[in-house]
Copies of this chain bind each other. A is one copy, B any other.
Amino acid sequence: MDETKFVKEIASKEEAFSQWYIDVVKKADLADYTPVKGCMVIKPYGYALWENMQQCLDRRIKATGHKNAYFPLFIPESLLKKEAEHVEGFAPEVAWVTHGGNQKLEERLAVRPTSEAIIGSLYSKWIRSWRDLPVLINQWANIVRWEKVTRPFLRTTEFLWQEGHTAHKNQEEAEEETLKILTVYKDYIEQDLAIPVIIGRKSNNEKFAGAMHTYTLEALMGDGKILQAGTSHNLGQNFAKAFDIRFLDENQQEQFAWTTSWGTSTRLVGGIIMVHGDERGLKLPPKVASVQMVIVPIFFDTSKQEVMEKAREYKSLLEKKFKVELDDRDSYTPGWKFNEWEMKGVPVRLEIGPRDLAQNQVVAVRRDKGNKVIISEKEVESTLEKWMADIQNNLFLQARSRLEENIRFTDNYESFKEIMEEKRGFIKAFWCGNEKCEDQIKKDSKATIRCIPLEEHKEKGKCIFCGEESSSLVYFGRAY
């Protein structure tokens, strides 16, 4: 068994990022392809990561007063059609159920591409008075969008997500909610997933179909492309009017409600891979790692019993505070195990051999650093506690440095195109606000406006494409 084979089998991150990504997904056992076109299976190791991500975010969503519920998977076609922009945006991606058992249905059912329509129809029934507001509901669900080109986690026909849907009595409250969620998402993505984001507003071209405006969180990936990590939409009264969500206000006047919706998905698993991963595979932030540390016993036949005993002792001690795995497989060498757990991105590896036993110590290796550190037995617990926080922080800081290095300002269109072709990353440039400029820039460089900063820039400059004066300094990038 060639111990290095494991790592050699994945493509180079530097040279072939896309292939590297796919290789890591498969080699780290996160997901696999299925006989269903465009649909993946999330394997146990990948799903455990997703469960931890869910827990982190669910806690934050509940702490801000939202409650979970579950709405139907199917949306009758007539209902989906009620909001014109919305159906126009989603119709090309909808999977349609036309038969139930052996019977043709009277009306086709959409497999939800998002749930504004079905939820709106119920809010219309539930909301009567200002006393019923706000309604603050979140749903964890599967979503189907018919995609032509798919990649595990990043773009699949079926994916998992959470979608929040809220209703409010006035515009201010709806806007406050939309922005509050932006903060919830930022905290989750930065503090739990250790992925730094740039937040802002979407241009009209890029906003959610049917929304008044969309806020977004955008993250830089390892290949310089940009991942939309989450979005929060202020839907204004568009959906309330389409789905008839009305209430009597404090003055007994009938009003349409103001609604919002917001979502993040299993895409972020892809984000974790692409932000933190390296040539040796995954690197997981301790807060979401399903295995935070692995113990690898190292022994000869003569020392097996006592080494295993000590390893089990460490496991019982450490699993009170951490998620610990003891790799006691006989059929693999320690070297093979080191490679495999590095590929799987486990934050810390502990090695225990006969010599360590004699010296009352363990050898510990951080996935983010790689060098061997000797820790005395009585300091293992406290050291590892410090390390967990430190690794979490270090992954974030490393990613933030890369992000900062890859935000470039330019006011020269030739240099804009050159950067997009060679270095990618974010480009900050002035934009006049005209969709025609936006479209032409996309044609020339594949770059889209990732977001418009929330605070308007003080000084004016010239639109990177047409040269017209503008105070809107926006972020461009090539999107995933």
Contact = CB atoms under 8 A, between A and B. Distances in A.
Contacts of A91: 101-102
Contacts of A71: 34, 41
A79 B37 CA distance: 13
B146 A79 contact: no
Interface in A19-55: 32, 34-36, 39-44, 46-48, 50-51
A42 B122 CA distance: 11
Interface in A83-123: 91-102, 108-109, 111, 118, 121-122
* Copies of this protein in the complex: 2
A288 B142 CA distance: 25
A72 B158 contact: yes
A34 B121 contact: yes
A341 to B, nearest CB: 17
Interface residues of A, number: 56
Contacts of A48: 67-68
Determine the main DSSP class of A at the interface with B: mixed
Nearest to A331: B131
A133 interface: no
A252 to B, nearest CB: 16
A336 interface: no
A69 interface: yes
A354 B293 CA distance: 54
Nearest to A50: B70
Contact of A146 (B35, B72, B76, B100): B100
Contact of A79 (B35, B46, B94, B331): B35
Interface of A: 32, 34-36, 39-44, 46-48, 50-51, 67-76, 79, 91-102, 108-109, 111, 118, 121-122, 125-126, 131, 137, 141-142, 144, 146, 157-158, 160, 331
